A and B are shown apart, each in its own frame.
Chain A
Amino acid sequence: MSGEILHGRELSGPLEESVDVVVVGSGAGGAVFAAQLAEDGKSVLVLEEGPHYTPEEIRAMTPSQVLRRMWRDAGMYAALGVGQTPVISLAMGRNVGGSSVHTGGVCFRIPSAVHHDWVKGHGLPELSEAALEAAYLDVERRVHVVEVQPHERSRSTQKFAEGAAKLGVEFKNLRRNTDGCEGNSRCNFGCPKGAKMSVDLSYLPGAIARGARLVSDAQVERVLFDGTRAVGVEGWLTGPPGHYGARKHRFKIHAKIVVVACGTVHTPEVLANSGVRSKHLGRHITLHPAFRMGGLFDEPLDPWNGAMQSAYSDHYEHEGITVVGMYPPVNVLSSGLPGVGPSHRAIVRQNRSIAVQGGMVHDEGGGVLHRSPLGGREPLLTYEMVPRDLARVRRAITLLGEMAFAAGAKAVIPPIFGLDPITSLSALRALETSPPDARKIECMAFHPLGSAKMSNDPRRGVTDVWGAVYGMKGLYVVDGSVLPTSIGVNSQVPIMSMATRLAWAVRDRWARVVRG
């Protein structure tokens, strides 16, 4: 039996259905869970708040069209810094496939040291590396994880790799979920080739072939309960005008189990609206604050030709810093270049000769969600960077700048608002010893995690180690919000693997799960 994708905005009346499993959210967690249960023969309905776009539609969009139509809050969502903390622009998808559609495709497993910490430091032996091995393998096969070959590197990445090598730092090939990448270097804004195997292309088609149904433009308000047992969800189908749309028709879905997979920033709101109470809900959020460094070279590099992300270095892992190659679309990069009018034009003109490299910090978790004072669907996220993490950001800026100079850059362009390109190592290092206001650092994040974290103790977490919400029956959380700590690497494979593990557990205990 084949399922289907329904566009909620095109439905002409209320929707009411009964299924075995209702999954709220179609991203890296929800799509994977839905596919696993559909393959086991369960009737599955996936509800996605955002719209559905086909790969062909996405390919035809410019970067700003992708931002306004497919990213949360039209690409303008940010964590508000508390104290000496930058505003951190947060990239999150709001579409069928969720943020997996907007990653650079980078695939890491959770580092061994993090697994070890979860087992030994947090008392979670169920989250050992060995316990997730089968899930990792399953995910990596389905999303087609392959190693990026050196010839796929852009000259931008090559330059930084050359500089790093001179400093004794090795760049390694990244692994990504791609099939036929031709190096258009705009993965975050929709692959023009359709080569990135995001969950809308890797998991959801299989789920639908097995009978799962997906409704887009379906905004879940709350989980429905019979006593403490979750029995379904209700909400609104939305429609034009605008990205968020107006409420058109009610829907109510009855289900034997409810899976919430709205992502770290939105899962807590659905749970809180449904009466879930925990002092940990919406707190302890880690972001992996990230930033870019530009290097200005004498020769043209045409840095936009090559894989957007192709190489990384874990050389500084002991300092909590990961160096990850990246190159954004040229208009997005230009928006972060310093200057106004002629001074901005002058540097924009040199884009062909600007190499870019990214850095990311393994952070401690200072994010807290609040209801938005402006109302609407987007909660307010505040984030306080601990001094250690701020020092790491500054350190990483210096390290990346040193690589650029070692590669022969005539200047570096640090991620600091309004700062002219720096032409000497001493001036670069001064940024670390006499740093500018932290709120002038251009910072972004792609991996919010931990707002409904797992624990083996209801006093220390929101869910148990199988994603079941404490105090409720038949209610599961399956997304990045359940990860107990920051992981220090890109989160899509970890989230997919965790979702696989949780889906297998539900599948294997189905009779108990629905009876319990």
Chain B
Amino acid sequence: MIFGAWHQRQLGAIVEAMLTDHDERGELAPPSAEVTRLVVEDLSDWLTHSQTMPTAFKALIALLALLPLFFVGRLASVAGLPLDVRVTYLERFERTKVGPLSMAFIAMKVPLVISAYEVPENLRVTGFDRSLTERRRLPVAGASR
């Protein structure tokens, strides 16, 4: 794990918010702790393959962790925010008109989502009909539909 405890906690909070859904009652439903842990560990592994990104990614985590005051008016790190406020905070961060901040958010979001949607229970949400390494099931000529 390339992240220290603080970075792990902040990243875990971001992952959890990113993958939160609505349940059947319309309440916020976070992913399981296991899924969050898997994604954090996988991102750590991914970054060990990069020469430039470990440092940059830690800086991104710190940036996202420390700016809630400016987007949702809370003097807390992202891990200290309740889930609903965390989701709102990250949505506002993504929508900011300040180009460089928006880019910073995407630099975090892209690998996070790519990694997260390789977890089978997330991949199923997309409607994709096979595993990501599986070949397409080709239609058989003459088969009835």
Q: Which residue of A lies closest to B118 (CB)?
A: A62
**Alpha-carbon distance A192/B136, docked complex (angstroms):** 9
Is B53 in contact with A73, judged by CB distance below 8 angstroms?
A: yes
Specify which chain B residues have a CB less than 8 angstroms from the CB of A241 in the assembled complex.
Answer: 48
A64-B46, A192-B135, A331-B132 as given contacts; A300 in contact with B127, CB under 8 Å = yes
Query: Which of A211-219, A250-258, A339-347, A361-369 interfaces with chain B?
Result: A339-347
Is B118 in contact with A63, judged by CB distance below 8 angstroms?
A: yes
Specify which chain B residues have a CB less than 8 angstroms from the CB of A59 in the assembled complex.
Answer: 133
B114 interface neighbour in A86, A332, A338, Cβ under 8 Å:
A332
- Count class of interface residues, chain A: 35 or more
Q: In the complex, which residues 39-80 of chain B have their Cβ closer than 8 Å to any Cβ of chain A?
A: 42, 45-53, 55
**Alpha-carbon distance A329/B133, docked complex (angstroms):** 10
Specify which chain B residues have a CB less than 8 angstroms from the CB of A69 in the assembled complex.
Answer: 49
A330 interface neighbour in B55, B109, B126, Cβ under 8 Å:
B126
A417 interface neighbour in B17, B28, B45, B102, Cβ under 8 Å:
B102
Is A243 in contact with B49, judged by CB distance below 8 angstroms?
A: yes
Specify which chain B residues have a CB less than 8 angstroms from the CB of A20 in the assembled complex.
Answer: none
Is B110 in contact with A342, judged by CB distance below 8 angstroms?
A: no
Specify which chain B residues have a CB less than 8 angstroms from the CB of A351 in the assembled complex.
Answer: 126-128
Query: Which of A315-323, A371-379, A424-432, A466-474 interfaces with chain B?
Result: A371-379
Among A74, A182, A184, A345, chain B packs the most CB atoms within 10 A around the CB of A74
Q: Count of B residues near A, CB < 8 Å?
A: 55
Specify which chain B residues have a CB less than 8 angstroms from the CB of A352 in the assembled complex.
Answer: 126-127
Bitwise interface map of A from 62 to 83 toward B, beta carbon under 8 Å scored 1, else 0: 1110011100011111000000
- Smallest CB separation, A105 vs chain B (Å): 16
Q: In the complex, which residues 81-128 of chain B have their Cβ closer than 8 Å to any Cβ of chain A?
A: 87, 90-91, 94-100, 102-103, 105-107, 109-118, 123, 125-128
Is B125 in contact with A64, judged by CB distance below 8 angstroms?
A: no
Is B22 in contact with A340, judged by CB distance below 8 angstroms?
A: no
Specify which chain B residues have a CB less than 8 angstroms from the CB of A358 in the assembled complex.
Answer: none
- Smallest CB separation, B129 vs chain A (Å): 7
B90 interface neighbour in A61, A76, A341, Cβ under 8 Å:
A341
**Alpha-carbon distance A77/B135, docked complex (angstroms):** 28
Specify which chain B residues have a CB less than 8 angstroms from the CB of A87 in the assembled complex.
Answer: 103, 107
Q: In the complex, which residues 306-339 of chain A have their Cβ closer than 8 Å to any Cβ of chain B?
A: 329-332, 334-336, 338-339
**Alpha-carbon distance A74/B45, docked complex (angstroms):** 10
The answer to the question of A33 belonging to the interface, with a C-beta cut-off of 8 Å to chain B, is no
- Smallest CB separation, A56 vs chain B (Å): 11
The answer to the question of A42 belonging to the interface, with a C-beta cut-off of 8 Å to chain B, is no
Q: Which residue of A lies closest to B50 (CB)?
A: A74
Is A340 in contact with B118, judged by CB distance below 8 angstroms?
A: no
Specify which chain A residues have a CB less than 8 angstroms from the CB of B111 in the assembled complex.
Answer: 64, 75-76, 335
- Smallest CB separation, A442 vs chain B (Å): 7
Is A439 in contact with B52, judged by CB distance below 8 angstroms?
A: no
Specify which chain B residues have a CB less than 8 angstroms from the CB of A186 in the assembled complex.
Answer: 132
Q: Which residue of B lies closest to A60 (CB)?
A: B133
The answer to the question of A126 belonging to the interface, with a C-beta cut-off of 8 Å to chain B, is no
Specify which chain B residues have a CB less than 8 angstroms from the CB of A61 in the assembled complex.
Answer: 133
The answer to the question of A249 belonging to the interface, with a C-beta cut-off of 8 Å to chain B, is no
Is B47 in contact with A341, judged by CB distance below 8 angstroms?
A: no
A242 interface neighbour in B49, B107, B138, Cβ under 8 Å:
B49
Specify which chain B residues have a CB less than 8 angstroms from the CB of A74 in the assembled complex.
Answer: 46-47, 49-50, 53
Is B99 in contact with A62, judged by CB distance below 8 angstroms?
A: no
Q: Which residue of B lies closest to A420 (CB)?
A: B95
Is A439 in contact with B22, judged by CB distance below 8 angstroms?
A: no
Is A343 in contact with B114, judged by CB distance below 8 angstroms?
A: no
Is B46 in contact with A68, judged by CB distance below 8 angstroms?
A: yes
Specify which chain A residues have a CB less than 8 angstroms from the CB of B19 in the assembled complex.
Answer: 341, 345
A64-B118, A68-B46 as given contacts; A335 in contact with B113, CB under 8 Å = yes
The answer to the question of A304 belonging to the interface, with a C-beta cut-off of 8 Å to chain B, is yes
Is B105 in contact with A330, judged by CB distance below 8 angstroms?
A: no
Is B18 in contact with A439, judged by CB distance below 8 angstroms?
A: no
The answer to the question of A183 belonging to the interface, with a C-beta cut-off of 8 Å to chain B, is yes
A62-B118, A341-B28 as given contacts; A68 in contact with B17, CB under 8 Å = no
The answer to the question of A440 belonging to the interface, with a C-beta cut-off of 8 Å to chain B, is yes
Is A342 in contact with B28, judged by CB distance below 8 angstroms?
A: yes
Q: Which residue of A lies closest to B95 (CB)?
A: A418
A331 interface neighbour in B28, B47, B107, B117, Cβ under 8 Å:
B117
The answer to the question of A399 belonging to the interface, with a C-beta cut-off of 8 Å to chain B, is no
Specify which chain A residues have a CB less than 8 angstroms from the CB of B42 in the assembled complex.
Answer: 64
Is A377 in contact with B17, judged by CB distance below 8 angstroms?
A: no
The answer to the question of A438 belonging to the interface, with a C-beta cut-off of 8 Å to chain B, is yes
Q: In the complex, which residues 176-201 of chain A have their Cβ closer than 8 Å to any Cβ of chain B?
A: 182-186, 192-193
Is A192 in contact with B50, judged by CB distance below 8 angstroms?
A: no
- Smallest CB separation, B97 vs chain A (Å): 6
Specify which chain A residues have a CB less than 8 angstroms from the CB of B22 in the assembled complex.
Answer: 342, 345
Q: Which residue of B lies closest to A442 (CB)?
A: B106
Is A374 in contact with B55, judged by CB distance below 8 angstroms?
A: yes
Specify which chain A residues have a CB less than 8 angstroms from the CB of B21 in the assembled complex.
Answer: 341-342, 345
The answer to the question of A302 belonging to the interface, with a C-beta cut-off of 8 Å to chain B, is yes
**Alpha-carbon distance A79/B136, docked complex (angstroms):** 34
Chain B interface (Cβ < 8 Å from any Cβ of A): 17-22, 28, 42, 45-53, 55, 87, 90-91, 94-100, 102-103, 105-107, 109-118, 123, 125-129, 132-136, 138
- Given A331-B126, A442-B106, 9 other A-B residues pairs in contact with their CB atoms under 8 A: A67-B46, A76-B111, A77-B52, A185-B136, A192-B133, A244-B49, A330-B128, A340-B90, A439-B99
Instruction: Show 8 residue pairs from A and B whose CB-CB distance is below 8 angstroms, ordered by the A residue.
Output: A62-B133, A73-B52, A75-B111, A192-B133, A340-B94, A376-B51, A417-B103, A440-B102
8 smallest beta-carbon distances between A and B, as pairs: A439-B99, A331-B117, A437-B99, A243-B49, A335-B113, A74-B50, A376-B51, A74-B49
